[in-house]
Amino acid sequence: MEEKMRFIDLRSDTVTIPTAEMRIAMANAAVGDDVYREDPTVNKLEEKAAMLLGKERALFVSSGTMGNLLAILVTCKAGDEVIMGNQGHTFLHEVGGMSALGGIFPNTLPNQPDGTLDLAMVARAIRGEDIHEPRTRMVIIENTQNQCGGVPISLTYMQQLSQLARENELFLHVDGARIFNAAAALQCSAKDLVQTADSVTFCLSKGLCAPVGSVLCGPQDFIEEARRFRKMLGGGMRQVGILAAAGIIALDNMVERLSEDHRRATVLAEQLSQIPGFSLSKGKPQSNMVFLQVDHTVYPDLAVIAEQLKKESILIGFSGPDEIRIVTHYWVSDLDVQHVVRVWQNLQP
143 or 162, CB closer to ligand TLP? 143
Q: Is 93 in the site for ligand TLP (CB under 6 A)?
A: yes
**Number of residues lying near ligand TLP (CB under 6 A):** 14
Q: Please say whether the beta carbons of 119 and 258 come within 8 A.
A: no
Report in angstroms how near the CB of residue 203 gets to ligand TLP at its nearest: 5
**Residues 86, 30: Cα–Cα separation, whole Å:** 42
Which positions from 172 through 191 interact with ligand TLP, judged by CB under 6 A? 175, 177
> How long, in residues, is the chain?
349
CA distance 260 to 328: 9
Residue placing its CB nearer to ligand TLP in the complex, 166 or 310: 310
Q: Which residues inside 307-346 make contact with ligand TLP, applying CB under 6 A? A: none
Query: Looking only at residues 238 through 257 of this chain, which bind ligand TLP when binding is defined by CB under 6 A?
Result: none
- Using CA atoms, how far residue 213 sits from 47, 66, 88, 163, 244, in Å, is 15, 9, 20, 30, 8
- Residue 210, interface with ligand TLP (CB under 6 A)? no
Which of 16, 19, 41, 65 is in the footprint of ligand TLP by CB under 6 A? Answer: 65
Peptide bond into 144 cis (omega under 30): yes
CA distance 81 to 330: 38
Q: How far is the CB of 65 from ligand TLP (least distance, A)?
A: 3
Q: Is 116 in the site for ligand TLP (CB under 6 A)?
A: no
Decide if residue 288 touches ligand TLP (CB under 6 A).
no
Is 146 within 8 Å of 320 (Cβ atoms)? no
Query: Is residue 207 helix, strand or coil?
Result: coil
CA distances for 6 relative to 20, 70, 181, 244, 322, angstroms: 16, 35, 25, 25, 27
Q: Does 214 bind ligand TLP (CB under 6 A)?
A: yes
Q: How far is the CB of 110 from ligand TLP (least distance, A)?
A: 17
**Applying CB under 6 A, does 199 fall inside the site for ligand TLP?**
no
Strand 136-142 to strand 314-315: parallel, antiparallel, or no bridges (unpaired)?
Answer: unpaired
For the bound state, the minimum distance from the C-beta of residue 270 to ligand TLP, rounded and expressed in Å, comes to 22
Q: Give the shortest CB-139-to-ligand TLP separation in angstroms.
A: 15
Any contact of residue 285 with ligand TLP (CB under 6 A)?
Answer: no
Residues with Cβ < 8 Å from 103, sequence gap 6 or more?
A: 77, 78, 79
Q: Which stretch binds ligand TLP (CB under 6 A): 48-56, 61-69, 180-188, 228-236?
A: 61-69
Nearer to ligand TLP, 126 or 183 (CB): 183
Q: Minimum CB separation from ligand TLP for residue 298, in Å?
A: 26
Written as one letter, the residue type at 334 is: D
Distance CA(348)–CA(336), nearest Å, equals 20
Is residue 177 within 8 A of residue 217, CB to CB? The reply is no
Residues near ligand TLP (CB under 6 A) are: 12, 14, 63-65, 89, 93, 142, 146, 175, 177, 203, 205, 214
